[in-house]
């Protein structure tokens, strides 16, 4: 059983896959406490893997986004395998503080204050920019580095930072900008 906050169909609004149709599986609960979090962790319904697959099958998109909260608290190899069995491309948005099961197709790691990243493989590093030094992110090996303004509030400062550190790319929360989930 896994605690699911919601399953919904929309477009990916952030990072490398912005604009791609996706089925979002939002898990409840997190091991960190970020000020800007948009998930109500007390909400959620306990679901089996088969219940989750049944919901996912309602939508035509190939991409599934495991998000939260912190999905690594709930996911396992069996769920990943079941998603692959129905021909889904499985992505995860994680704070990186927990190991992940094998088989995830795309790993987006968004390190947060108070957490230590333990992942060996990161496809995409997405950092919420609040004026912090980017030097501490040099240790992460990835070809895709995204800097995201905090709640779209400090866009100009984020752009100026990227101009100083051009290995980073801008990631806006386009789902919020265009008014979708």
Residue 37 bears catalytic tag: yes
Residue 27 bears catalytic tag: no
Residue 175 bears catalytic tag: yes
Residue 30 bears catalytic tag: yes
Choosing from 14, 70, 93, 124, which is the catalytic residue? Answer: 93
- Let me know: does 30 contact 73? Beta carbons within 8 Å: yes
Partners of 7 in the beta sheet?
A: 25
Choosing from 14, 27, 39, 158, which is the catalytic residue? Answer: 39
Residue 121 bears catalytic tag: no
- Of 13, 88, 14, 12, the closest CA to residue 55 belongs to 88
- Let me know: does 147 contact 137? Beta carbons within 8 Å: no
Residue 39 bears catalytic tag: yes
Choosing from 6, 84, 157, 175, which is the catalytic residue? Answer: 175
Choosing from 6, 18, 20, 37, which is the catalytic residue? Answer: 37
Choosing from 35, 38, 42, 102, which is the catalytic residue? Answer: 38
Q: Helices 77-85 & 49-56, crossing angle to 10 degrees?
A: 30
Choosing from 14, 30, 67, 109, which is the catalytic residue? Answer: 30
Sign of CA dihedral 166, 65, 98, 6: positive
Q: Which residues of 131-147 are buried (b: 16+ CB within 10 A; e: fewer)?
A: eeebeebeeeebebbbb
Choosing from 6, 18, 20, 34, which is the catalytic residue? Answer: 34
- Of 36, 29, 50, the closest CA to residue 153 belongs to 36
- Taking phi first (over 0 means left), then psi (-120 to 50 degrees means alpha), and beta for anything else, what does residue 49 get? alpha
Task: Give the active site residues.
Answer: 24, 30, 34, 37-39, 93, 175
């Amino acid at each position: 059983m896994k605690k699911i906050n919601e399953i919904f169909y929309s477009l990916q609004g952030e990072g490398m896959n912005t604009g791609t149709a996706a089925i979002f599986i939002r898990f409840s609960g997190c091991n960190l406490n970020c000020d800007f979090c948009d998930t109500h962790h007390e909400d959620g319904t306990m679901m089996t893997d088969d219940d989750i697959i049944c919901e996912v099958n309602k939508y035509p998109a190939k991409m599934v986004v495991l998000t939260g909260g912190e999905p690594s608290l709930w996911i396992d190899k069996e769920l990943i395998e079941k998603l692959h069995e129905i021909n889904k491309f499985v992505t995860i948005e994680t704070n990186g503080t927990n190991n992940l099961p094998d088989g995830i197709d795309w790993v987006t790691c968004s390190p947060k204050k108070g957490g230590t990243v333990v992942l060996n493989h990161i496809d995409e590093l997405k950092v919420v920019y609040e004026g912090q030094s980017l030097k501490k992110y040099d240790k992460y090996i990835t070809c895709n580095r995204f800097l995201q303004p905090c709640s779209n509030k400090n866009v100009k400062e984020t752009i100026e930072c990227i101009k100083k550190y051009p290995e980073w790319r801008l990631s806006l929360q386009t789902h919020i900008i265009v008014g979708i989930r």
